[in-house]
Amino acid sequence: MRVIKGEIFAWQAHVDRLRQGLAAFELECPSGLLPRCIQAAKEAGEDALLRLTVSGGEAPRGLLVDGERQPQVHIQAWPYRPVSHALALHTLDWPLGGMARIAKFAADYAYTIRLLHQARREGTLPEGDQALFTHQGDLLCMETGNIMLLLDGEWVTPDSEALLPGVVRGALLEAGVLRACRCSVDYLPMCEAMAVCNSGCFVRPVAKINGRQLDVRADRFVSLVEALQGKPGVPAQL
54-111 pLDDT per residue, tens? 988 777 776 666 666 788 899 999 999 988 899 999 999 998 876 778 777 766 788 8
Pairing type for strands 193-197 and 88-93 reads unpaired
The pLDDT-based confidence of 200 (bands split at 50, 70, 90) is: very high
pLDDT above 90 covers what percent of the chain? 74
**Which range, of 67-71, 113-117, 198-202, averages the lowest pLDDT?**
67-71
Give the separation between CA 191 and CA 229, rounded to whole angstroms: 25
Within 13 A of 9's CA, how many CA atoms are on the CB side? Answer: 27
Residue 160 DSSP label? -
Compute the average pLDDT of residues 163-167.
89
Residues forming a β-bridge with 77? 50
* Residue 231 pLDDT: 95
Is residue 167 within 8 A of residue 10, CB to CB? The reply is yes
Cα–Cα distance, 40 to 153 (Å, whole number): 41
Domains and CATH numbers, the chain: 2-79 (no CATH), 88-228 (3.20.10.10)
